């Protein structure tokens, strides 16, 4: 089933979002049709303040950095196709993604269990999952000491959910 962005947003902000964050979290995704490249951007707002944003250009820069790091680790120049999966996952972990990767993450999250989403290799899926009302305080308490294992950009969101549930104040 295909969803429009407004339907995805409704699911994320109303249907799945935990009560402690309802009305505080807003997701934004758009595609600009006038520019030559038709690219857009994604943003996450907390209490009306944009706390994270990304776009195709950010994703491209982070993919290039990941590719250079991959080649350095391999000790040789590899083709992008040879390292594609590793590079693209690393770009996501660095916080680079476009609106289409955001939509893809929603479909993955929406079509699997919350347990699978919390363990997903895709950090955007884990973002959606950590804010999910199906993640109770007991399960959330398991993540208090594991915040540092998340990508740097995602740690804020884990910390926010843990804090609003009264399970501590991660620094």
State how many domains the chain has: 1
Mean pLDDT computed over 125-140: 96
> Residue 77 belongs to what domain range?
5-164
Helix (H) or strand (E) holding 38: none
pLDDT digits (tens, 9 = 90+) for 48-73: 999 999 988 898 999 999 988 888 88
Residue 30 has pLDDT above 70, yes or no: yes
User: Is 170 within the bounds of a domain?
Assistant: no
* Any domain includes 38: yes
Residue 148: count of CB within 10 angstroms of its CB: 9
Does 38 have pLDDT greater than 70? no
Please indicate whether residue 82 or residue 17 has the higher confidence score (pLDDT): 17
Residues 78-102, mean pLDDT to the nearest whole number: 87
Inside any domain, residue 171: no
Q: In 3-state terms, what secondary structure has residue 49?
A: strand
pTM over 0.75: yes
pLDDT in tens, 109-130: 999 999 999 999 999 999 999 9
Residue 35: pLDDT above 80?
no
pLDDT greater than 70 at residue 134:
yes
What backbone phi and psi angles, to 5 degrees, belong to 30? -150, 165
Is residue 159 within 8 Å of residue 146, measured between CB atoms? no
The whole-number pLDDT of residue 39 equals: 78
Q: Collect all residues with Cβ–Cβ distance below 8 Å to 39 and sequence separation of at least 6.
A: 31, 32, 55, 56, 57, 98, 99
Judged against a pLDDT cut of 90, whether residue 151 lies above it is answered with: yes
Residue 170 binned pLDDT confidence (cut-offs 50, 70, 90): low
Domain assignment of residue 169, yes or no: no
CB atoms within 10 A of CB 147: 17
């Amino acid at each position: 089933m295909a969803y429009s962005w407004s339907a995805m947003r409704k699911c994320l902000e109303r249907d799945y979002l935990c009560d402690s964050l309802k009305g505080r979290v807003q997701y934004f995704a758009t595609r600009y049709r006038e520019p030559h490249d038709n690219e857009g951007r994604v943003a996450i707002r907390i209490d009306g303040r944009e706390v994270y944003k990304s776009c195709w250009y950010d994703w491209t820069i982070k993919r290039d950095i990941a590719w250079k790091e991959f080649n350095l680790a391999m000790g040789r120049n590899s083709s992008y196709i040879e390292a594609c999966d590793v590079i693209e996952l690393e770009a996501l972990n660095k916080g680079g993604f476009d609106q289409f990767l955001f939509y893809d993450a929603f479909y993955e999250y929406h079509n699997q269990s919350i347990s699978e989403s919390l363990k997903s290799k895709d950090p955007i899926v884990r973002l959606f999952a950590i804010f999910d009302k199906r993640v109770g305080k007991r399960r959330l308490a398991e993540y208090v000491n594991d915040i540092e294992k998340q990508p740097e950009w995602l740690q804020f969101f884990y910390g926010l959910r843990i804090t609003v549930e009264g399970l501590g104040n991660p620094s």
